[in-house]
Amino acid sequence: MTQTESAYSEMVERVRQGRLLAACMGLLSWDERTYMPRAGGPLRGEQMALLAKLYHERLADPRLGELLDQLADAPLGELEQACVREVRRVHHRAVKIPKRLVEELARTTTLAQGVWVEARAKSDYSLFLPHLQTIVRLKREEAQAVGYDQSPYDALLDEYEPGATVAQLQPIFTALADALVPLIAAIANSTVRPDRSIIERDYPVDRQRFFAESAAAALGFRFDAGRLDVSVHPFCSGLGPGDCRLTTRYHPRRFNDGFFGMLHEVGHGLYEQNLDPQHFGTPLGEAVSLGIHESQSRLWENQVGRSEPFWRHFFPRARQAFPEALAEVGHEAFYLAINEVTPSFIRVEADEATYNLHIILRFELEQALLADQLQPADLPLAWNERFQQLLGLSPPDDARGCLQDIHWSSGGLGYFPTYTLGNLYAAQFMAQARRDLPGLDEAFARGDFAPLRQWLTQSIHRHGSRYRPDELCRRVTGQPLDSSIFVTYLRDKLAPLYRL
């Protein structure tokens, strides 16, 4: 074995050991949000703090830095160069962040997530406020430690979407809002009114769960290598090859909550289950970014799951599963009901047209929090005022306002923009898939989702982090990210529905 091969092999082994620690943390986090007793929070916080410290020590280990230096100019293949590039990025970030801060963040956010569940249930922001104040302080400290050129937000955003900056995203988001607002207004003025009652009838939870699991399996989610449970906020934990945990939440009188939450998480799960297992533990076996990850969830949830051909296959099965609710409902009325466009309070329940306005709100507020231009104590008022400006609604309580998402309790400042990036990537990937796979809609109508799943696996999943998001987009679609493709998709879909 040459010196270069030895150095690369040692680097890979060290990174894999760190990834195993991360998988242990992921399992504890999944358990915390699904089955852990409420009183177990303090102990779980200590467990997470210890594992976070050990994981950070692995990433920041000087020996890993020495190996990366040895490999800097070594003659490596393309895959090995990509792996070294991404390990170097993660290592350099870890070196900058103090071990004490890593432990404190893990301990604080573990406790905060439990408090957030209670605060949301009681719609009592005062319960969560002290924890958010601490989290914002710690994330400001993290941004300063990592460093940035223009905005502290850039330092946090880079963790989820490598290379992305506020300066890059702001014009994309502004142009998107400018295009969406008149479309939403035109729909509001349409004489077409979906029958909302169709999806707000009695949908027994046990049947919802059976229907959701059946649909997940039909899309290709492997239950021998994963599971679907219930949590307050839906999520996906890809722990590694053979173990991917999904959750959704069911409401006995709201069909959309459980089913489309499931589709969203299945999109994440298919990405995790179709990463190349031989590269587990290295960047080549991990998703390239949260924006690309969200593209997969939003693609299956909306581009596929809210499409007319999808329901040509699944609506007869839905009527069988829920005969009392759907016996007298026609396919067209149901399809219109699940594609209703109207401003609403809850992001995860928002329609495709208004959804990104929810993200823009959070994008703005997070920047203000990090820049010390907005104090956590003033967040509910700032949220409600901006929500009124963007969506024309005033949240009646904090549970339907600033307490609705789990992300801030877990320290995920900088995460939200990846949802909008995911919507944009999803539309662009799906447009390319339709060009590459003639007859895709007919396949959906037959219940055949394998062609799209296989195309996504070969085009996106199996590459892991071989390419950065922008390069991956160019390779798959032949052009850089273009928000107009998403806007065109929405107009083409919604104009006939609402007779615009």
Active site residues: 265
Nearest to 256 by CA among 366, 339, 362, 158: 339
Q: How many CB atoms lie within 10 A of CB 496?
A: 10
**What CA–CA distance (Å, rounded) separates 72 from 191?**
63
Q: How many CB atoms lie within 10 A of CB 291?
A: 26
**What CA–CA distance (Å, rounded) separates 401 from 395?**
6
Run of H or E including 77: none
423 is written with which tokens?
Answer: 């919507």
**What CA–CA distance (Å, rounded) separates 358 from 345?**
9
Three-state DSSP at 341 gives: coil
**What CA–CA distance (Å, rounded) separates 101 from 87?**
21
Q: Which residue has the tokens 């295009």?
A: 179
**What CA–CA distance (Å, rounded) separates 485 from 49?**
43
Q: With contact defined as beta carbons under 8 Å apart, do 255 and 337 qualify?
A: no
322 is written with which tokens?
Answer: 């829920």
Q: With contact defined as beta carbons under 8 Å apart, do 251 and 379 qualify?
A: no
Helices (H) and strands (E) in the chain, counts: 21, 3
Q: Which residue has the tokens 């993200």?
A: 359
Give the list of residues 6+ apart from residue 190 with CB closer than 8 angstroms, or none: 498, 499, 500
Q: With contact defined as beta carbons under 8 Å apart, do 312 and 444 qualify?
A: yes
**What CA–CA distance (Å, rounded) separates 316 from 87?**
49
Give the list of residues 6+ apart from residue 492 with CB closer than 8 angstroms, or none: none
Q: With contact defined as beta carbons under 8 Å apart, do 292 and 303 qualify?
A: no
Return the CA Rg of the chain: 22
Give the list of residues 6+ apart from residue 449 with CB closer than 8 angstroms, or none: 218, 219, 220, 304, 443
Q: With contact defined as beta carbons under 8 Å apart, do 472 and 460 qualify?
A: yes
Nearest to 78 by CA among 464, 498, 494: 464
Say which amino acid occupies 314: F
Say which amino acid occupies 332: E
441 is written with which tokens?
Answer: 């809609």
Run of H or E including 227: strand 226-230
